[in-house]
Amino acid sequence: MKPPAARAHRDMILEVANLTMRFGGLTAVDRVSFTALRGEITALIGPNGAGKTTLFNCITGFYRPSEGAIRLHRPGALPVDLHRLAGYRIARSGVARTFQNIRLFPGMTALENLLVAQHNTLMAASGWAVGAVLGLSRYPAAERAAIEVARRWLLATHLLDRADDPAGALPYGAQRRLEIARAMCSSPGGPALLCLDEPAAGLNPRESEELARLLLEIRADGTSILLIEHDMGVVMKISDRVVVLDHGRRIADAAPAAVRSDPKVIAAYLGEEGEEE
């Protein structure tokens, strides 16, 4: 039998090592290290301003970290240094994300939002337009396939009956689900790693319950998830591991039950309430 460390390394999908992000004099992420395992839901929690979104922005290439490394591990391939790549190349290597504030195209229909997300796949099939101009294109087949992928995710997110509605006209909870559908459509065969920034924010209890079920389905289909979330009901129910940040530092990294009873974590959240008074 292999020692646990070797097993963990083999199963790793994301490795964050000594990551630091400074904005002028403010250190938003301070020497944070953790790993996320393949096929798991890893939650990233912590009080407001802890550095969670900043960490996501480093992983997905919105920010270039001040120090440290972020590596994506894929079976049978060399690790990818995400901290050196531009955002579009990070997306192409199989990392998808949603945003804390919804960023859909509100005037486009739900279906169109999911087709736009597949732009790269469609353009590649058109030979980056040259093939299409010459009439040699595989484009119609690729377009049909793209519509099929979009329909699959509209179905999974209970939005099939809203396919032709403008995204901006959908209720808030439906827009949140559409964002997840869009992220799932963004790479062929689905992303290797899905990064969700507070997907349950603003949802009612029934919608949160549905969201939890959707994330478990996505995990079962083989996409690993990194989940920023304040809704502890959702986090404790579906996460395999929980990493806790406070003031930019990692203060805990353990199974959900252990994190819930960790005095350092409880103190960090109580401190937040104290600061609000």
What residue ranges bind ligand ATP (CB under 6 A)? Answer: 23, 26, 28, 46, 48-54, 100
Euclidean distance between CA atoms 6 and 238, whole angstroms: 25
> Contact region for Mg ion (CB under 5 A) — 92-100, 140-148, 158-166, 212-220?
92-100
Instruction: Please say which residue, 26 or 86, places its beta carbon nearer to ligand ATP.
Output: 26
Minimum CB–partner distance for residue 49 and Mg ion (Å):
8
Run of H or E including 208: helix 205-220
Strands (E), the chain: 12-23, 26-37, 41-45, 67-72, 80-81, 95-97, 193-197, 224-228, 241-246, 249-254
**Least CB distance to ligand ATP at residue 12 (A):** 24
CA-based angle 77:82:87, to the nearest 5?
A: 120
46 binds, among ligand ATP, Mg ion, none (CB under 5 to 8 A by kind): ligand ATP
| Shorter beta-carbon distance to ligand ATP: residue 151 or 247 | 247
53 belongs to the binding site for Mg ion (CB under 5 A)? yes
CA 195 – CA 181 distance, rounded (Å): 12
Nearer to ligand ATP, 11 or 272 (CB): 272
Binding partner at 109 among ligand ATP, Mg ion, none, C-beta below 5 to 8 Å by kind: none
Q: φ and ψ at 176, to 5 degrees?
A: -65, -40
**Two structure tokens written together for 254:** 């353990």
Question: 52 or 73, CB closer to ligand ATP?
Answer: 52
Question: Judged by CB under 5 A, does residue 66 bind Mg ion?
Answer: no
Q: Which stretch, 8-16, 98-106, 136-144, 268-276, contacts Mg ion (CB under 5 A)?
A: 98-106
Task: Pick between residue 48 and residue 261 the one whose CB is nearest to ligand ATP.
Answer: 48
For residue 117, give the amino acid letter: A
121 binds Mg ion (CB under 5 A): no
Which residue ranges make up the site for Mg ion (CB under 5 A)? Answer: 53, 100
